[in-house]
Amino acid sequence: MSTIAKVGELSKEEQFAKGISEGKTIKDAMIDAGYPKSRALRGTAGLTKKMVKAMASEGYKLAEFGKSLSLDTLKHIAIGRLATNAIQGKDGGVMSAKQIGQHKDIGLWVAESMAGVIMINVPNQAIENKSKTIDAVDSEQL
């Protein structure tokens, strides 16, 4: 029995790597790619050099795809996913959208207001103008 894939078909190793890149466990990715369950149950001990190489190749493809996306595009994808899910009444992809929104350079879920924020290192200017600030707040409350 030949393990060589036909043109246009993925080899077992490539199918396995694709499954891993989709978030499947090693066991599930191996079983879905056609490996025996006994081998899949071995986890990382059941991986061959070809499988590891295929995973690296798949990771490179994902990295290249990630480089092609701007932060604005990612932001709009996250918002679009959440809006679509709200309209359709389902939650598919919410965790991915949440993770995109939490990216340090996107910050969709960061509060816009500083209310309730405690300042540990207060700027000198704030200390020098403390009485003016307190008087301004007191006059607004009256």
d(CA 7, CA 10): 8
Is the pLDDT assigned to residue 141 strictly greater than 60? no
| pLDDT: which is higher, 30 or 136 | 30
Assigned domain for 111 exists: no
Asked whether 11 and 5 are in contact (CB, 8 A), the reply is: yes
pLDDT of residue 1: 45
Write out the E strands in 2-141: none
> For 89-125, b where at least 16 C-beta lie within 10 A, e where not — what string?
eeeeeeeebeebbeeeeeeeeeeeeeeeeeeeeeeee
Give residue 31's domain range: 12-67
Q: For a pLDDT cut of 70, what percent of the chain falls above it?
A: 82
**25-49 burial by CB neighbour count: b if 16+ within 10 A, else e?**
ebbebbbebebeeeebeeeeebbee
Is 53 within a domain? Answer: yes
Q: What phi and psi values does residue 52 have, to the nearest 5 degrees? A: -65, -40
CB count in 10 Å sphere of residue 68: 7
User: DSSP of 84-101, one letter per residue?
Assistant: HHHHHT--TTHHHHHHHH
Residue 34: band (very low, low, confident or very high) from pLDDT cuts 50, 70, 90: very high
Residue 37 within a domain: yes
**Domain-located, residue 90:** no
Answer whether residue 136 is part of any domain. Answer: no
Please report which confidence band the pLDDT of residue 22 belongs to, taking 50, 70 and 90 as the band edges: confident
Domain count across the chain = 1
What does the pLDDT read at residue 6? 56
Q: What is the mean pLDDT of the chain?
A: 82
**Is 79 domain-assigned?**
no
- At residue 39, the pLDDT reads 93
Q: Kindly report the pTM of this predicted structure.
A: 0.45
Beta carbons of 16 and 35 less than 8 angstroms apart: yes
